[in-house]
Structure 1
Amino acid sequence: MNTLLTVGIIIVNLALIAYTTAFITFTQKKRAVNKALIPLSIGVALDICATSLMILGSSHSFLSTHGLIGYSSLVAMVVDCILLWKFRIKYNSKGSIPQPLHWYTRIAYIWWICAYIAGILAVLGR
């Protein structure tokens, strides 16, 4: 495995930690607090970096099944991050996250976990 892929894998694991921290905090607090928004934002940045490194380091087509799942889950997390920051700016973390946004956060996180698992399976399958 080349260096870019190895670094990408390390970074995507850090994104997993950041996303999970944010998800657990949002689930417990049900508010857009900095304790959740900051790890979510860091997770998005790490995920973008990891995805870029894995594309550059891979000898396979970037339009693989895992790639498409990964890109769509990254887009879902970026959208989630934007929506939660907009909610935070509008309500200053005083209001509870509306149920539709809370569900979107759950779905985006679960979809990202599916992409993460698909990546593991893709590596094991080689």
Structure 2
Amino acid sequence: MKTISMIGALIVTLALISYSIAVFGERKKRHITKSILSFLTIGIILDITATICMIIGSTNSPFTIHGLLGYSALTLMLIDTIVIWKFYKSHGFKFEVPMGLHKYTLIAYSWWVIAYITGSLLVMIK
């Protein structure tokens, strides 16, 4: 495995940790907090960085099934982060997050974790 790919793998694991803290924090508190916004935003930055590293380090086309799964998962998490930021901008920290947004966050996060696990399994198989 190329060094840039190993760096990408480390960074994507940090994104997993950051996303997990944000998603479970939101589910527990039912409100948006500064830490939830911070961890989601950090997760997106880490995820984009990891994706770039893995594209650079890969000898395969970036348009594999796993690649498309990963890009779609990143897109879902980006949409979730934008929607949560919009909710915060319009409602602040005082209002409970709507159930629909909670469900979307869980679906996006679950899809992202599936992409993470499939990537890990593909590396172990090689």
TM-based fold match above 0.5: yes
Deviation string 1:73-125 (CA, Å, 9 cap, x unpaired) is 00000000000000001001111111111100000000000000010111112
Matches within 5 A, 1:90-105: 90-105=90-105
In structure 1, the gaps of 5 or more residues are none
Residue 54 of structure 1 corresponds to which residue in structure 2? 54
Q: Which amino acid aligns with 1:72?
A: S
Separation (CA, whole Å) in 2 of partners of 1:120 and 1:3: 16
Residue 118 of structure 2 corresponds to which residue in structure 1? 118
Separation (CA, whole Å) in 1 of partners of 2:125 and 2:96: 43
The offset of 1:33, in angstroms, is 1.0
Query: Sequence identity of aligned pairs in percent?
Result: 44
- Structure 1 runs, 4 residues or longer, greater than 6 Å off: none
Q: Which amino acid aligns with 1:121?
A: L
Deviation string 1:37-91 (CA, Å, 9 cap, x unpaired) is 1001000000000000000000011111110110000000000000000000100
Residue 6 of structure 1 corresponds to which residue in structure 2? 6
Separation (CA, whole Å) in 1 of partners of 2:3 and 2:83: 35
Q: Does residue 1:65 correspond to 2:65, yes or no?
A: yes
Residue 89 of structure 1 corresponds to which residue in structure 2? 89
| Secondary structure of residue in 1 paired with 2:32 | coil
Query: With structure 2 as the length reference, what TM-score do the two structures score?
Result: 0.98
Residue 38 of structure 1 corresponds to which residue in structure 2? 38
Considering only aligned residues, what root-mean-square deviation do their CA atoms show, in Å?
Answer: 0.6
In structure 2, the gaps of 5 or more residues are none
Separation (CA, whole Å) in 2 of partners of 1:49 and 1:25: 23
Separation (CA, whole Å) in 2 of partners of 1:32 and 1:71: 26
